[in-house]
Amino acid sequence: MPTARPQHRGKLAVSYGWASPVTRKRSAQSSRFQTLIKYFNLYCKHSSMMGLKYLVEDRATWTVRLLWLIAYLMIVWLMWIYVPLICRDSLDTFITVTAKSGGIPTESIEYPGIAICNVNRISLRKATMLATDMYNANISNMTVDEILDAIKDLGYLYNTHFRMTKSYSEIDRLLLMYYGDYYNITEIMLYLTPECSRLLIACALHNKRRNCSDMFSVEITQDGFCCTFNYFPGGDDNVTYEVAEDVGFIEGLIVMMDPMLDDYFFTMMPVTGIKAMIFDPREYPDTITGGVTELLISPQRKQFVRLRALALSSSKLMQKFSVYRRGCIFAHEKGLTHKAYSFGNCIVACTVKDLWKYCKCTPFFYPDFFVKLYNRTCTVEDLPCLIRYLDAKRGIVPFDTVELEDLIEGNSTINCEICYPSCNDVTYLARCTTRRTSKEPMYVGINVTAYANYSILSIYFDNQRTLSLRQDVSYRWFQFLSDVGGICELFLGCSIISFVELVYFIILCLTELLTSDSDPEANEEVENQQVQPPMQLIYWNELCPRSRFTKPLKRIRKSSKNS
């Protein structure tokens, strides 16, 4: 009988690509983990980032993989340091100021606001008239000279740095008796102020003589009521501002003035003459803002003032950033008590607010749009409080400043935390030259002998072009992205394509995980799938044909040989 054919009892672990390697039922958690590992290996093998493939390469040893992992961790740590530095630098220096080539024509620049004030703040003639009326009203047993002496105390309302040498109650009692239970201190100070019609003799603008009353108006300033030119506080859009049509002495503003030395009664300074102020035509002129140029014109002197403007404009792109970051405010963003924002008006409004908290009154020399929220004007009764206030307050902090926090906490400064500079502004720079006046009249028809101590003020632009500065965003978002991308390319060799690849493999991984979790029948079918029998090697002798009579034939051949 033929022997049994040898059987391959051993199980050969030969597998092919189409054969499933799953040999046991896996848990859901193990399946998710293996899915994550699978897509991590796929991303590392096919990613455009150089070096990731060495972490999962089959031929790489564990030592090589560990070295590559350490190198990547160090590179990521360096990126963690340098990228925040770029972000911090971009936030600190994202604005640049550049000078516009050639500047802008001076003809397009507005004239500054100009205020002309007599150093004498109370007219002797008007004070005498008021004292005479009080005397004739029989409100007191005081003489005219004694009443005049009491009226002089009203001058301390202009500048409370002067210390009063006597009681203030006498003038307050006289005013209450003369005007009744209430008197308007603002109207009284306006009445006592020297008249502009007597102060201004002749005026000219753009080489044309004009009526001074048409060019100048009486407005309130830090020195009280003064004669002002081109001054419209609050930034009214319906007002037409004077513009420099040309440059040169003849084309500027020329004013002939009479200091009225014989009318002196109360002076702010121990000098004689006329005080002029040059400032932004939209801002209240106050020296605490730093935007006011003061000039003192002595009698029998010509004051020539050469102006140069410095224009600053800001890009509208800066409005996307916060006020704290850009460090300035646009005119339409914050209207305090007036229409248009300006740094000077903000400082003054902050000062008025702080003074109201301290003394519960506002000085009369502040305009209505600052004091409309407060219903009481300071009188001579409030002089002691005003003096204490000026002694307590040493300065102004316009916005949050770390270096001056100690002064703010000590209440020795006025903290105006919302007052930032204007993003669009014009600064006027003045250079002065003084000469002695001549005996010849400036204009025909003026009797110079009637004004023996007259003075002349001439204000004009002396340059055809004005320096213009442009403030713009120098560090845009695409520049920041470029810098960060350069750092990533330098350290990791990655680009936007690398992030697209990462997103692509994450989507594939999530899709497979969600699909496996949402189809329980498919999971059960996979888990219950029978193990495929392994493929066995073929025993090639089994394919050859065999004869069933092998042994008898051998016997026949053997017997035939023997015979």
Average pLDDT, the chain: 78
Q: Is a pLDDT exceeding 60 seen at residue 524?
A: no
- Tokens at 347, concatenated: 């400082």
Q: Which residues pair with 520 in a beta bridge?
A: none
Check: CB of residue 365 under 8 Å from CB of residue 158: yes
Three-class secondary structure of residue 335 per DSSP: coil
Euclidean distance between CA atoms 200 and 145, whole angstroms: 30
Number of helices (H) and strands (E) in the chain: give both, helices first: 18, 18
Does pLDDT of 214 surpass 60?
yes
The DSSP code for 152 is G
With 0-12 CB in 10 A as exposed, 13-18 as middle and 19+ as buried, what is 496?
Answer: exposed
Mean pLDDT value of segment 427-444: 79
Give the model confidence (pLDDT) of 189-202 as tens digits.
999 999 999 999 99
Q: Distance between CA atoms of 505 and 43, rounded to whole angstroms?
A: 7
Token pair for 120:
């004498």
Is the pLDDT confidence value at 278 over 90?
yes
Closest to 391 in 3D by CA, of 167, 166, 161, 223: 161
Per-residue pLDDT at 416:
81
Q: How confident is the model at residue 445 (pLDDT cuts 50, 70, 90)?
A: low
pLDDT score recorded for residue 167: 61
d(CA 318, CA 325): 9
pTM value > 0.75: no
Give the mean pLDDT of 364-387.
78
Can you tell me the mean pLDDT for 49-67? 79
Kindly indicate the confidence band of residue 545, based on its pLDDT and cuts at 50, 70 and 90.
Answer: low
3-state secondary structure 437-471: CCCCCCCCCCCHHHCCCCEEEEEEECCCEEEEEEE
Report pLDDT for 14: 44
Give DSSP secondary structure letters for 176-227: HHHH-S---HHHHHHHHSPPHHHHEEEEEETTEEE-HHHHEEEEEETTEEEE
- Give the model's pLDDT for residue 91: 63
What span, in angstroms and rounded, lies between the C-alpha atoms of 511 and 513? 5
Distance from C-alpha of 425 to C-alpha of 343, rounded to nearest angstrom: 9
